[in-house]
Amino acid sequence: MQELNVGLIGGGFMGKAHSLAYAAMPMFFWPAPAIPVRRIVAEADAELAATAARRFGFERSTADWREIIEDPDIHVVDIATPNNLHAEAAIAAARAGKHIICEKPLARTSEEAKAMYDAVKDAGIVHMVAFNYRRTPAVMLARKYIEEGAIGKILSFRGTYLQDWSADPDSPLSWRFQKSIAGSGTLGDIATHVIDMARYLVGEIASVNAMMTTWIPDRPVQSGGADLLGTSKDSDGPRAEVDVDDEVITMLRFADGAIGSLEATRNAYGRNNFITFEIHGTEGSIHFNYERRDELQVCFAADDPDRRGFRTVYTGPAHPCGDALWPIPALGIGYGETKIIEAHDFFKAIVEGGAVSPNFADGYQIALIDDAIVESAASGSWVEVPTVEG
């Protein structure tokens, strides 16, 4: 079985999730498409890098991510840093002929996303953007039902991504609240996950009509380091301006005629990782809530009227990736499993020489949808979304 050497850039939240996936992928998927070898990890300084190597099982560490790009022994570059490094690192990795998995959002702007997409097309390598929630087995099951026609023609999609970790005005101004690093706020950070699922389940988004707002205009500064995601407060520290959005709501028109909506905020007290969608079709409906991610709620119009209603399917061996995951339904699918499935599909594409979704073309298309949402929120009108050329 082939071994593929991984260089990871960034040892924070996603560094942890991706390292876990590399270690666990062959334990779940066997025979594995390849064995990921955790060769080298880069962090912002030598001490952080050494700690990341020890903790996440990498053989070596570096304080300079370029060392990974220049290393001929590395096959896969994994970009898990804040968004401001995605474009520079990905373009350098593509030019060096490495396969790339890059965290979402692909980039801070659509211009950066286009440059990244152009670079990977020219290089002919396998590229993936890490919108992992679509790899929750219940979400894959929703897509299977839709493809089989079980709910008929899709009429509407209602999606949300609601969290509360930044609702407190004293939770810190980390990199996620700085446009120069993040590119945007809630829009790029979490609304994009729902956009990815909407495209995966329903199809291309043709136009949008949006509202965006920033509720908390300044926060105490957190300088450097991993984002603590609201877990530490410093109400006495110096405050600085938040120059990104806190909340986005948009109506959607899909290319095939379906309509929909999307709401995202990180300021919704009581909501944790409330990623939901409800899809209504001519023959039934599907409802998903990530906080109950083992479950898919389905209602089929063909059911007898006296029994019709939402019922719960618990994902397990009979469902997508069921043979690789746990042997009994409802044992518990976690965030880690979505990353393990993602790693499997990425390595499979590398070994088989195919493409994988979502890739940099999808990441660029989502950046164009984000642009349309920003433009619509500013103008108050519907805005058409251009389509990425194949």
**61: buried, middle or exposed (CB in 10 Å: 19+, 13-18, 0-12)?**
buried
CA pair distance 25, 16, nearest whole angstrom: 14
Which residue, 23 or 259, is less far from ligand NAI as judged by CB?
A: 23
CA pair distance 219, 214, nearest whole angstrom: 12
Residue 226 interface partner, choices ligand NAI, ligand SOE, none, CB cut-off 5-8 Å depending on type:
ligand NAI
Q: Which of 109, 110, 136, 163 binds ligand SOE (CB under 6 A)?
A: 163
Which residue, 214 or 273, is less far from ligand NAI as judged by CB?
A: 273
What tokens does 224 get?
Answer: 């450097």
Instruction: Give how far Cα 149 sits from Cα of 14, 156, 200, 352, Å.
Output: 36, 15, 15, 30
Which residue, 115 or 255, is less far from ligand NAI as judged by CB?
A: 115
Q: CB under 6 A: which stretch of 5-13, 28-36, 93-101, 314-322 binds ligand NAI? A: 5-13
Q: Which of residues 198-257 bind ligand SOE (CB under 6 A)?
A: 229
151 in contact with ligand NAI (CB under 6 A): no
CA pair distance 286, 342, nearest whole angstrom: 23
Which residue, 34 or 44, is less far from ligand SOE as judged by CB?
A: 44
Q: Which of 98, 108, 266, 319 binds ligand SOE (CB under 6 A)?
A: 266
Q: Which residues of 6-34 are buried (b: 16+ CB within 10 A; e: fewer)?
A: bbbbbbbebbbbbbbbbebbbebbeebbb
Q: Which of residues 45-104 bind ligand NAI (CB under 6 A)?
A: 48, 65, 80-83, 85, 103-104
370 in contact with ligand NAI (CB under 6 A): no
CA pair distance 11, 15, nearest whole angstrom: 4
189 in contact with ligand SOE (CB under 6 A): yes
CA pair distance 48, 51, nearest whole angstrom: 5
Q: How far is the CB of 300 from ligand NAI (least distance, A)?
A: 31
Contacts of 167 (CB under 8 A, 6+ apart): 230, 266, 267, 268, 269
Which residue, 43 or 362, is less far from ligand NAI as judged by CB?
A: 43
Which residue, 190 or 388, is less far from ligand SOE as judged by CB?
A: 190
Residues that bind ligand SOE (CB under 6 A): 163, 189-190, 229, 266
Kindly list the residues in this chain that would bind ligand NAI in the complex (CB under 6 A): 9-14, 42-44, 48, 65, 80-83, 85, 103-104, 130, 132, 189, 226-227
